[in-house]
């Protein structure tokens, strides 16, 4: 049986990434998976209120992006206020700092339903 947040599509390196994030950013509620299109999908990233504004979310995103680049995979996500964020606009700005852009218009990637996407850096 798979742990919550895991899928049968997850490559081995994803478990190691989850473990590293859990060690380096304890208390963070994270759900990442590998989807059928081969994307690293960030579904949930919640830093507890008492730990916010200490760079923990930035640290987690740097770890995620570094591994996505190392593995040569596209990362996807959809900013949402569902998990307690007060501003989706602020979340979008945060994710743009890590190279994410809106997945829409002439460059839309139809292999994902997520609203933001980041291609791996060379």
Question: For 36-77, how does the pLDDT look when each residue is reduced to its tens digit (9 = 90+)?
Answer: 899 999 999 999 989 989 999 999 999 999 999 999 999 999
Question: For 68-113, how does the pLDDT look when each residue is reduced to its tens digit (9 = 90+)?
Answer: 999 999 999 998 877 766 778 889 999 999 999 999 999 899 999 9
pLDDT at 1 over 50: no
CB 103 within 8 A of CB 112: yes
From CA 88, how far away is CA 119, in angstroms rounded?
21
Q: Please report the pLDDT score of residue 10 as a whole number.
A: 80
Q: What is the mean pLDDT of residues 13-23?
A: 93
pLDDT at 20 over 50: yes
From CA 39, how far away is CA 61, in angstroms rounded?
15
pLDDT at 7 over 90: no
Q: Please report the pLDDT score of residue 22 as a whole number.
A: 94
Longest dimension (CA), the chain: 41
From CA 61, how far away is CA 94, in angstroms rounded?
10
């Amino acid at each position: 049986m798979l742990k919550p947040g895991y899928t049968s599509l997850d490559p081995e390196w994803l478990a190691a990434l989850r473990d590293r994030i859990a060690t380096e950013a304890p208390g963070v509620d994270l759900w990442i998976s590998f989807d059928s299109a081969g994307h690293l999908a960030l579904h949930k990233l919640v830093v507890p209120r008492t730990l916010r504004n200490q760079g923990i979310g930035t640290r987690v995103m740097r770890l995620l992006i570094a591994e996505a680049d190392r593995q040569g995979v596209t990362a996807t996500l959809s900013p949402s206020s569902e998990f307690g964020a007060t501003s989706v606009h602020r979340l979008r700005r945060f994710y743009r700092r890590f190279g994410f852009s809106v997945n829409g218009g002439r460059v839309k990637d139809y292999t994902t339903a997520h609203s933001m996407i980041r291609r791996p850096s060379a």
